[in-house]
Amino acid sequence: MLARSYLAGASVLALAIGAPAAHAGTPAIIYGGGGQSSAKVYRDVFNCYVTLADGIYSTTAGNPSTVAYPTGPAPGCSTQGKVNVIIPYDSVGSGPGLKAFTAASPVPFGSPSATNTIAYLDSTFGITATPYPEIQFATSDAYLSSTQASEAATTVNEPIFQLPAIVEPTTISIGQNQNVKLKTADICNLFSGSTNVAEKITFSEVVVRSDSAGASFILADWLAQNCPTNLGFNATNGFPSTLPNWSAVFAANNNKITLVQANGASGVASAIANTKNAIGYVTPDYVYPVVASSTAFPAYVNNVQPTVAAVKVRLAAFTYPTTYNAATIGQQINDGLVAPGGKGYQIIGYSFWDVYQCYSTTIAGGLIGGPTQGKDLLNLLKYLISNNTEVQAIINGQGFAAAGSPVINLLNSAGGPFNATGGIQNSACPSK
C-alpha cells in the first residue's frame, strides 16, 4: 500500500500513469549507462523517484570507497523512496552506451574510472563491479542511425525504441573570460584550428573530448550543417559522430591554434576553466552559472547564450515528426534542431534513451532482463518524460530543457514506446 505522504504529494501525472507500488523485499534493479553529459540530471531524477543508490563507484583493492554524485535526492521530491527500484547508471559516454545497446551486452560499459562520478554501483545490494550482468537501457546524445537501430533489433529479434528525453545545449565555453560574443563563422574557424575571429581575443587553445561523446556529436552535427565545406567538417572526418577526427581537420587548416584533447565532460570543463581564453564545448551542468565556482563561461553564439529560455525558443519553432519511426526518429529531430537559421540557441540536441520493446529472461540469454524491469522502466520513462513540475525543476536547474508536450504526444502515438498496444512491455510481450 502506498504511503499517505506519497498520495498527498505526488503529481497528478504520476498518479495518472500508474506509478508502481513498491515491490516487497529486495528492490528491482534496472541496469543502464551511456551519456556523461546528461548523467547528473538523470541521477537526480532517479534519486527523486526510486530508492537511493549508495553511490560507491570505486571498490578497487587498496583504494578507499568513494561516494559519487549526488548523495541524496534533489529538493522538492514528493516520490523519493516510494518506488522500490535501484538504478545503477554507468556514465561511460554516449559511444560505449550505443555499443552496449546494439549488442544487448553490458560489456562495453567497461570498468569504473576516476572520471566517472555518477553513482553506478551499490554495495548495499551487491552491485560492486562493472560490466553489469545485464543491460536494460542506454542513453546517448547521439541518435541511433537506421543501421544501428536495425542491428539492435536483430540482436534481440524484436523492435527497439529511441526516446528523446531531455534537450541538451552544448555550450561553447571560454576560460576565465565572460561575455565573449561569437558568430557562426567564428566558431567554424576556431574549431577548425583558425584564429580568424571577429572578437579581439587571442584564443590560447581549443579543448575537445578525447573519448566517444554525445556532446561531440551534437557540436559535430552543427558544424557539418553550418560551416563552409572547405573546412573539413564532413563524414570522412567523422562529422557528425561521437568521436570526430579533430586532428585531421586542424591539420588540413594549418593548425593555427593548439588542440587539447581531454577525457570526459569534467576533463574538458577543467581544461577550459584552468586556461585563460581556452575555448571548448561542454553541457551547462559542468560550467558557470550552473557551477557557480567555475571559471569556464558560456559564450554568446549569434548574440544568444545557452540559457533554458533560449533553448525553449528554439524548441517552440521546431516542427516535430507527426509519426514515430524507431529507426529514423533521432536523426529527424537532432538534425532538424541544429539546421541553419531560426531563433533561440541553436547548438542543441536530445539525450535519447534506447530501450527494447519486450523484456523477458528468455531473450538474449537473459541479458536484457525480465518483465518486472520492463514495467518499472516504462513507468520511470513516463515520469522522466513528462510535464511533472518536480522533474522539470531538476532538468531546468542544470541548464537543460524538458521534452515537452509535442514529444509526449509523439511517444504515445501509434507505434510509439508509450503506446499501450505496441509500446514498451505491452500485453503481447512474454511474461516470464
pLDDT tens-digit series, residues 209-225 = 999 889 999 999 999 99
For residue 72, give the H/E element and its range: none
Distances (CA, A) of 178 to 174, 188, 192: 7, 20, 22
pLDDT of residue 160: 96
Per-residue model confidence as pLDDT tens digits over 322-363: 899 999 999 999 999 999 999 999 999 999 999 999 998 888
pLDDT of residue 76: 74
Which residues, 6+ apart, have CB-to-CB distance to 79 below 8 Å?
A: 6, 9, 10, 14, 19, 48, 49, 383, 390
Per-residue model confidence as pLDDT tens digits over 373-432: 999 999 999 999 999 999 999 999 999 999 999 999 999 999 999 999 999 999 889 875
Q: Give me the chain's average pLDDT, please.
A: 87
Exposed/middle/buried for 393, CB within 10 Å: 0-12, 13-18, 19+?
Answer: middle
Placement of cell 524484436 in the chain = 158
pLDDT of residue 33: 92
Residue 220 phi, psi dihedral angles, 5° rounding: -65, -35
Looking at the chain, which residues constitute the CATH 3.40.190.10 domain(s)? 4-160+351-412, 171-305
Residue 91 pLDDT level (bands cut at 50, 70, 90) = confident
Percentage, residues of the chain above pLDDT 90: 67
Placement of cell 571559471 in the chain = 295
Placement of cell 545490494 in the chain = 125
User: What DSSP letter does each residue of 220-278 carry, written as one string?
Assistant: HHHHHHHS-GGG--SGGGTSSSSS--HHHHHHHTT--SEEEEESHHHHHHHHHHTSTTE
Closest to 81 measured CA to CA, from 38, 123, 134, 19? 19
In terms of pTM, does the model score above 0.75?
yes
Give the torsion through C-alpha atoms of 297, 301, 305, 309, to 10 deg. -150
- What CATH code would you report for 4-160+351-412? 3.40.190.10
Exposed/middle/buried for 316, CB within 10 Å: 0-12, 13-18, 19+?
Answer: exposed
Pick the CATH number of 171-305 from 3.30.300.280, 3.90.1280.10, 3.30.390.10, 3.40.190.10: 3.40.190.10
C-beta separation of 208 from 262 below 8 A = yes
C-beta separation of 39 from 264 below 8 A = no
CA-CA distance, 220 to 241, in Å (whole number)?
Answer: 7
Percentage, residues of the chain above pLDDT 70: 90
Closest to 425 measured CA to CA, from 372, 361, 347? 372
Return the C-alpha cell found at 186: 567564428
Exposed/middle/buried for 91, CB within 10 Å: 0-12, 13-18, 19+?
Answer: buried
In DSSP terms, 279 is beta-bridged to 174, 206
Looking at per-residue pLDDT, the higher value among 64 and 128 belongs to 128
- Chain centroid to CA 123: 25
Q: What residue type is 234 in one-letter code?
A: N
Which of 38-47, 49-58, 209-218, 403-412 comes out lowest in average pLDDT?
A: 49-58
Based on its alpha-carbon atoms, the radius of gyration of the chain, rounded to whole angstroms, reads: 21
C-beta separation of 143 from 331 below 8 A = yes
Which of 79-83, 113-117, 167-171, 241-245 comes out lowest in average pLDDT?
A: 113-117
Q: What residue type is 112 in one-letter code?
A: P
Q: What residue type is 181 in one-letter code?
A: K
Residue 114 phi, psi dihedral angles, 5° rounding: -65, -25
pLDDT of residue 101: 94
Give the torsion through C-alpha atoms of 68, 71, 76, 79, to 10 deg. 90
CA-CA distance, 415 to 220, in Å (whole number)?
Answer: 30
CA-CA distance, 19 to 10, in Å (whole number)?
Answer: 9
First to last CA, the chain: 25
- Angle in degrees, 0-180, between the axes of helices 389-397 and 39-49, rounded to the nearest 10: 150
Per-residue model confidence as pLDDT tens digits over 292-327: 999 999 999 999 999 999 999 999 999 999 899 999
